[in-house]
A and B are shown apart, each in its own frame.
Chain A
Amino acid sequence: MAEGPFRIGVDVGGTNTDAVLMTSSFEILAKHKATTSTDVVQAIAEAIAAVVAQSGVDPTEVTQVMLGTTHATNAVLERRDLGRVATLRIGGPATKSVPPLVTWPEDLRRVVSAGEVIIDGGFEFDGTEQVPFDRPGVEAFLDSLDGPPDAFAVASVFAPVSDAHELQAAEILRARFPDTPVSLSGAIGSIGLIERENACVLNAALIEVAHKIVAGLGAALDQHGIDAVQYFAQNDGTLMAMERVLQFPVLTIGSGPANSMRGAAHLSGLAEAIVVDVGGTSTDIGVLASGFPRESAIPVEIGGVRTNFRMPDLLALALGGGTIVGDASDGTDIRVGPESVGHQLTNDALSFGGAVKTLSDAANKSGRASFGSHSPDAMTDDVADLALRRIDEMFEDGIDRMKLSRSDQPVVAVGGGSVLMPPTLAGVSKIVRPDHHDVANAVGAAIASISAEIDQIFSLDGTTRDETLESAKADAIGAAVALGAVPEATEVISLEELTMAYMTDNIIRLRIKAAGPLR
Chain B
Amino acid sequence: MGASVFGGGGGGDPYMGGLMAGQAIETGGEVELVALDSLDDDDLILPVAMVGAPTVMAEKFLSGDEGARLRTEIEQTLGRRVSAVACGELGGINGVIPVTWATNTGLPMVDCDLMGRAFPELQMTTAALAGISINPVVMTDERGNLVKFDTITPEWAEKMVRTVVTSMGGEASMCLYPMTVAQAKEATVVGSVSRAMEVGRLLLEAADDPIAALCASVDGYALIEGKIVDVERQTTEGFSRGSVTIEGTGGHNGRFLRLEFQNENLVAMEDGRVVASVPDIITAVDVHTARPIVTEQLRYGQRVSVIALPCDPIWRSPEAIELVGPRVFSYDIDYVPVEELHG
Q: Which residues of A contact B (CB under 8 A)?
A: 91-99, 102-103, 122, 124-125, 130-131, 157-158, 191-194, 287, 294, 297, 299, 313, 400-401, 403-406, 498-506, 509
Q: Which residues of A contact B15 (CB under 8 A)?
A: 299
Tell me the dominant secondary structure on chain A's binding face.
Answer: loop
**Cβ-closest 10 pairs across A and B:** A501-B240, A94-B142, A499-B235, A97-B64, A297-B299, A124-B169, A97-B62, A500-B53, A93-B63, A192-B58
- With contacts A193-B59, A501-B53, A501-B240 taken as known, whether A130 is within 8 angstroms of B235 at the C-beta atoms is no
Q: Is B77 an interface residue (CB 8 A)?
A: no
Q: Are B63 and A98 touching (Cβ within 8 A)?
A: no
Which of B144, B166, B238 is A501 in contact with, Cβ under 8 Å?
Answer: B238
Which of A92, A122, A287, A509 is B55 in contact with, Cβ under 8 Å?
Answer: A509
Determine which residue in A403, A404, A506 has the highest number of CB atoms from chain B within 10 A of its CB, and name it. A404
Determine which residue in B143, B169, B229 has the highest number of CB atoms from chain A within 10 A of its CB, and name it. B169
Q: Which residues of B contact A158 (CB under 8 A)?
A: 59-60
Give the residue name and chain of the B residue nearest to A95 (CB).
B61
Which of B24, B51, B166, B247 is A406 in contact with, Cβ under 8 Å?
Answer: B247
Q: Are A502 and B19 touching (Cβ within 8 A)?
A: no
Q: Are B249 and A191 touching (Cβ within 8 A)?
A: no
Which of B142, B162, B233 is A504 in contact with, Cβ under 8 Å?
Answer: B162
**Once the chains are docked, how many angstroms separate the CA of A405 from the CA of B63?**
44
Q: Are A191 and B23 touching (Cβ within 8 A)?
A: no
Q: Is B149 an interface residue (CB 8 A)?
A: no
Q: Are B23 and A503 touching (Cβ within 8 A)?
A: no
Q: Which residues of A contact B243 (CB under 8 A)?
A: none
Which of A92, A297, A498, A504 is B166 in contact with, Cβ under 8 Å?
Answer: A504
Given contacts A96-B64, A97-B61, 9 further A-B contacts (CB under 8 A): A94-B62, A95-B62, A97-B62, A124-B170, A125-B55, A191-B55, A404-B229, A499-B233, A501-B54
Q: Is B163 an interface residue (CB 8 A)?
A: yes
13 A-B contacts (beta carbon < 8 Å): A93-B142, A94-B62, A94-B63, A95-B62, A98-B20, A98-B23, A103-B19, A193-B59, A193-B60, A194-B58, A313-B301, A401-B249, A501-B296
Q: Which residues of B contact A (CB under 8 A)?
A: 15-16, 19-20, 23-24, 26, 51-56, 58-64, 100, 142-144, 162-163, 165-166, 169-170, 227, 229, 233-235, 237-240, 247, 249, 253, 263, 296-297, 299-303
**Once the chains are docked, how many angstroms separate the CA of A192 from the CA of B57?**
8
- With contacts A193-B58, A499-B240, A501-B296 taken as known, whether A97 is within 8 angstroms of B52 at the C-beta atoms is no
Whole-angstrom distance between the Cβ of A239 and the nearest chain B Cβ: 26
Q: Are B163 and A98 touching (Cβ within 8 A)?
A: no
**Once the chains are docked, how many angstroms separate the CA of A478 from the CA of B87?**
48
Q: Which residues of B contact A498 (CB under 8 A)?
A: 55, 233, 296
Whole-angstrom distance between the Cβ of B297 and the nearest chain A Cβ: 7
Tell me the dominant secondary structure on chain B's binding face.
Answer: mixed
Q: Which residues of A contact B227 (CB under 8 A)?
A: 403-404
**Once the chains are docked, how many angstroms separate the CA of A96 from the CA of B229?**
39
Q: Which residues of A contact B302 (CB under 8 A)?
A: 297
Which of B58, B143, B301 is A93 in contact with, Cβ under 8 Å?
Answer: B143
Q: Which residues of B contact A294 (CB under 8 A)?
A: 301
Q: Are B297 and A503 touching (Cβ within 8 A)?
A: no
- With contacts A125-B56, A404-B229, A405-B229 taken as known, whether A502 is within 8 angstroms of B51 at the C-beta atoms is yes
Which of B16, B56, B163 is A500 in contact with, Cβ under 8 Å?
Answer: B56
**Once the chains are docked, how many angstroms separate the CA of A406 from the CA of B245?**
14
Q: Are B166 and A503 touching (Cβ within 8 A)?
A: yes
- With contacts A404-B229, A503-B170 taken as known, whether A92 is within 8 angstroms of B63 at the C-beta atoms is yes
Q: Are B59 and A297 touching (Cβ within 8 A)?
A: no
**Once the chains are docked, how many angstroms separate the CA of A92 from the CA of B144?**
12
Give the residue name and chain of the A residue nearest to B239 (CB).
A501
Q: Are B238 and A192 touching (Cβ within 8 A)?
A: no
**Once the chains are docked, how many angstroms separate the CA of A122 from the CA of B170?**
14
Q: Are B238 and A404 touching (Cβ within 8 A)?
A: no
Q: Which residues of B contact A93 (CB under 8 A)?
A: 63, 142-144
Q: Are B60 and A122 touching (Cβ within 8 A)?
A: yes
Q: Are A504 and B163 touching (Cβ within 8 A)?
A: yes
Q: Which residues of A contact B60 (CB under 8 A)?
A: 91, 94-95, 122, 124, 130, 157-158, 193
Determine which residue in A91, A92, A93, A130 has the highest number of CB atoms from chain B within 10 A of its CB, and name it. A93
**Once the chains are docked, how many angstroms separate the CA of A205 from the CA of B64?**
29
Give the residue name and chain of the B residue nearest to A294 (CB).
B301
- With contacts A297-B297, A297-B299, A406-B247 taken as known, whether A191 is within 8 angstroms of B59 at the C-beta atoms is yes
Q: Which residues of A contact B239 (CB under 8 A)?
A: 501-502
Whole-angstrom distance between the Cβ of A134 and the nearest chain B Cβ: 13
Q: Which residues of A contact B169 (CB under 8 A)?
A: 124-125, 130
**Once the chains are docked, how many angstroms separate the CA of A157 from the CA of B297?**
21
Which of B54, B166, B234, B301 is A404 in contact with, Cβ under 8 Å?
Answer: B301
- With contacts A93-B63, A125-B169, A158-B60 taken as known, whether A502 is within 8 angstroms of B238 at the C-beta atoms is yes
Q: Which residues of A contact B55 (CB under 8 A)?
A: 125, 191, 498, 500-501, 509
Q: Are A98 and B297 touching (Cβ within 8 A)?
A: no
Q: Are A502 and B61 touching (Cβ within 8 A)?
A: no
Q: Which residues of A contact B53 (CB under 8 A)?
A: 125, 500-503
**Once the chains are docked, how many angstroms separate the CA of A131 from the CA of B144?**
11
Which of B19, B58, B63, B263 is A191 in contact with, Cβ under 8 Å?
Answer: B58
Whole-angstrom distance between the Cβ of B280 and the nearest chain A Cβ: 22
Which of A192, A405, A406, A502 is B165 in contact with, Cβ under 8 Å?
Answer: A502
Give the residue name and chain of the B residue nearest to A497 (CB).
B233
**Once the chains are docked, how many angstroms separate the CA of A498 from the CA of B58?**
14
Q: Which residues of A contact B16 (CB under 8 A)?
A: 194
**Once the chains are docked, how many angstroms separate the CA of A332 from the CA of B248?**
34
Whole-angstrom distance between the Cβ of A393 and the nearest chain B Cβ: 13
Q: Which residues of A contact B19 (CB under 8 A)?
A: 98, 103, 194
Q: Which residues of A contact B58 (CB under 8 A)?
A: 191-194
Give the residue name and chain of the B residue nearest to A161 (CB).
B59
Whole-angstrom distance between the Cβ of A182 and the nearest chain B Cβ: 21
Q: Which residues of A contact B170 (CB under 8 A)?
A: 124-125, 500, 502-503
**Once the chains are docked, how many angstroms separate the CA of A313 from the CA of B297?**
15
Give the residue name and chain of the B residue nearest to A306 (CB).
B15
**Once the chains are docked, how many angstroms separate the CA of A409 from the CA of B104?**
55
